[in-house]
Amino acid sequence: MTSFASPLWRKLQVYQVYGANTNVGKTVITTLLCKVAPRAGFLKPVSTGPSSEADDRHVKQFSPGTVTQCLYQFEEPVSPHIAATAHASQAPGDAEIVSSIHNILTRWAKDEAMSHAFVETAGGVHSPGPSGTSQADLYRPLRLPVVLVADFRLGGISSTIAAYESLLVRGYDVESVLVFEDAYYRNSDYLMDYFAARDIPLLALQRPPERLRRESLGNSSSDDAFQRDQQAMARYYEAVSRPSSGLGGLLSDLSVRHERRIGELETMASTAHKSIWYPFTQHNGLKPESLTVIDSARGDHFQVFQQPAVKADSSSSSVLGPVYDGSASWWTQGLGHGNPELALGAAYAAGRYGHVMFALGAHKPAIELAGLVLQHTANERLVRVFYSDNGSTAMEVAVKMALRASCQRYRWNAGTDEVEILGLKGSYHGDTIGTMDCSEPSTFNQKVEWYRGRGYWFDFPQVKMVRGSWTVVFPDQLAHAAHGNERESFSSLADIFNIEHREHSGFGRLYAYFIQQTLENLVKKQGRKFGALILEPLVLGAGGMLFVDPLFQHMLIKTVRQNPELIEPSLPIPGPSSSKSWTGLPIIFDEVFTGLYRFYHFSPSTFFPQASRPDIVANAKLLTGGLLPLSMTLASEDIFDAFSSSPAKEQALLHGHSYTAHPVGCHVARMSVTKMMEMERDGAWDQFKESWVDAGPGVATVDAAPRVTVWSIWPQNLLTALSNAASVESVWALGTVLSIVLCDHDSPGEPNFLPACPDSSFLSSRG
C-alpha cells in the first residue's frame, strides 16, 4: 500500500465514526457533531442503497454548512462487498479507498475555516468493505481517532464492548462514545461506567423520532409522511444541537485530547533524552532532535512526528510523516507492523495463560511451536528445543551446550583449560558476556571490561556482484594460496550455490587444504583447544552484511567433522554412533538473523548438503513476526545427553529466565511461522522469482544442476544496474536482503560499507 502521512493536523481535527452495529444512528450522531462544530466536513467513503437516501445528502440537508462528499456509491441496499460484485470492474481496492480518503482530508486541512472532519463508516466495525476486508482493517492505515456510536438496543452492551475491543486490539484510539438514551434497556448507564474506567467520555443523547408508519396515516400520501418525517428530524436536530445537550462540551473535550496528543509528540524526544539509555548509541553529543518519535507503525512504515519546515505552515502541515522501516526493526518484521492476526493471537494467549512458569511444566503453545519448527528444519540431527527470550541468550545457551559436549568428549577441564571457539571474522553473536567472547574484537565488544575474545576467526571469501558479474572475492591469505588469484567469477548466483559440484573443483580443494593447515597450526603447534564451530550461515549480519561463499562454510564444517584429530590429537576418538551424532566439534548455526525465510527458505541450512547441517541452531528475530521477544535453541540428542548423563543437578543445563517459553510469545510464533509456511506453499513470493529465471547474471537455471532454489525479492536487473554505478563497489541480494557497498572516493580502492547496525544496509520487504 502507498505510504502517506497519517492524517493529524494541528488545526483540523479528524475523527472516524464507527458504529457498534448497524442501525445504531451513526449518521444522525455525525450530523449532530457537524452542526455543533464551527465548520465541518463529512466524508462517507463507501455507501450502499439509493443515492436519494445517501448519508451525505442527509448531512447536507440538516447541517447545511457542512462540506460533504461520498467517494463510492452503490445503489444496491446490501453490504458493500456484495454491492461491489455487480460493479466488479469499477469496484475500488483497499489502497484506492484509503488513498482517496487521505487526499480529501489533506485538501480540507488547507481550508483555514474548516475545524473538524468526520469520516463515517458503513454498518458495524467489522462490516466488510468492497473488497471484503473488514472496515477495522481497511481503514487502519489511516489510524484516525475514533468516535464510537454505541448500540442502545437489547444486546447493545455486548456489541458495543466487542466493537471497542476490536478497535483497541488493532491500535485505534477511541476518543469518545455516543449513544442514544433508552429508558427501558438503559445501556448508557452501564456503558458510562465501563468507559469512564478507561478514561473515555460517553455522552447519551435523546433518541430521534421514529419514522411514521404508512398505515397510521390513513389517507395521507407517502409524500406527506416523508415531509412530516423531515420536519420532525429538523426539530430534533435543532433541539439536540443546543448547548444543553452536551455536544459542545464533548467537542471541547475532543479538542483537549487532540491538543494533548500533539503536545505529547512534541515533548517525547526531550523526555526520552532525559530518562532513556539507548542501545548501540553513544550519548555523548546526542540531542533530543536526533531521536525519532514514533506514533504508530503499520506494514513497512512508521508514522513519526515531524516539525513543520516553516512555522507559518504548521496548521496545514501534517504533524506525522511516514518513514520506511529499512532494517525491518532490526530485522524482526516478517509480516509487517500492526498485523491484526498476530495481535488477536497475542490477546487470546494472554487471556488464556498470561505467563506460566515453565520449569517442569508443559503448555500447548510451547509444545506446538517446538514440534512445528523441528519438523520443518530439514535437519534430522535436531530433536530438542530450549526456549529463551532473544537472540543473544539463544546463542549463550548454544555455546553452553557445545562447550559441555566437547569438554566431556575430549576430557578437558573447563575450569583450568582455556577452551575457545572457531568462527569467522566479522561475526556477531550477541551482547551477553559469553556471546561477546565468541567474536573477534570490534566496536561492539572491545571496550567491555570482561571481554576476552576466546577464539580464532577465519578470514573468508565473499560473494559479490561486481560490474554485473557474480564473483567470489578471496581474502589475502587465500589469494596467496591460490597463486595470486583474487577472485573467481560465475555466470549465475545459482552456480555459486552448487556446492556439491564446486566441492571437487580446484577451489574446493584449496579451501579444504587452507582450513586443515590452519587448524593443524592452531592445535598442534600452538596447543589451543576449541569447543565449537559457530557460523552465521551465508550472511554475517551486524558485522556488515557480508555474504560468505557457501562452499567455504561447507568445507569448514566438513573438515572439522571428518578430522576430529585436528581438534584433540592426543586422544583416540571413537567414530560417531550414528549419522545424527556430532564429530570433531559441535556445529552451531547462528540463524538469529538468517533463519525463518530471510532467504525464502525455512532454514538457511537447507542451502547446504545434509552432511553440513548443524548440531545446534539459534533462532529469534523473525520467529514472532516482530511482535514479542522469544528465541529457541535447537539441539541434537547427543548434545542433550551431555547434560543428562548424570543425575547430579549441577550437571544439568542450569539456564533459564522467568519468562522462558512465554505462552503468548510461543502462540504468536506458531502463528507467524505457520503464516510464512502458507505463503511459501501458496506461491505468495512466486512473482519475485520471475526476474531470476531469465538468462543472465544471477540466474537460477538448471544448467549446472543447482541443488537449491536461489533468488531474491530484489530483481536481478536492479542489481546489475546498481553494480555498474560509478559510486558502487559491489552489491548482492539474496531472499529479502539487499546489500550495497559504496566506493570511498576520498580513499581510492577502499569500499565504504553502509552502517550495519542499527542503521543497516539491509532493506526488507515482506512480499
pLDDT digits (tens, 9 = 90+) for 370-399: 999 999 999 999 999 999 999 999 999 999
Split at pLDDT 50, 70, 90, the class of 626 is very high
Split at pLDDT 50, 70, 90, the class of 546 is very high
The pLDDT score that the predictor gives to residue 37 is 96
Domain with CATH 3.40.640.10 in the chain: 340-681
Domain 340-681: give its CATH architecture. 3-Layer(aba) Sandwich (3.40)
Mean pLDDT, the chain, as a whole number? 90
Q: Which helix (H) or strand (E) holds 152?
A: none
Please, are residues 659 and 389 in contact by the beta-carbon 8 Å criterion?
yes
pTM exceeds 0.85 for this model: yes
**Secondary structure of residue 177 in the 3-state scheme:** strand
pLDDT for 538 beyond 50? yes
What does the pLDDT average to over 74-83?
Answer: 88
In the block, cell 407517502 appears at 222
Using the 8-state DSSP alphabet, how is residue 211 labeled? P
User: What distance in Å separates the CA atoms of residue 87 and residue 80, rounded to the nearest whole number?
Assistant: 11
Pick the CATH number of 13-212+225-260 from 3.40.50.2300, 3.40.50.1100, 3.40.50.300, 3.40.50.970: 3.40.50.300
Length of the chain: 767
**What are the Cα distances from residue 298, in Å, to 170, 625, 667?**
10, 13, 21
The pLDDT score that the predictor gives to residue 706 is 45
Using the 8-state DSSP alphabet, how is residue 59 labeled? H
User: What distance in Å separates the CA atoms of residue 648 and residue 667, rounded to the nearest whole number?
Assistant: 33
> How deeply is 113 buried, as exposed, middle or buried, from its count of CB atoms within 10 A (0-12, 13-18, 19+)?
exposed
Split at pLDDT 50, 70, 90, the class of 313 is low
Please, are residues 109 and 11 in contact by the beta-carbon 8 Å criterion?
yes
pLDDT for 448 beyond 60? yes
CB burial of 732-744 (b: ≥16 within 10 Å; e: otherwise) equals bbbbbbbbbbbbe
pLDDT for 9 beyond 80? yes
What does the pLDDT average to over 44-71?
Answer: 93
The pLDDT score that the predictor gives to residue 764 is 37
Domain with CATH 3.40.50.300 in the chain: 13-212+225-260
What does the pLDDT average to over 747-763?
Answer: 40
The pLDDT score that the predictor gives to residue 701 is 42
The pLDDT score that the predictor gives to residue 310 is 53
> How deeply is 468 buried, as exposed, middle or buried, from its count of CB atoms within 10 A (0-12, 13-18, 19+)?
middle
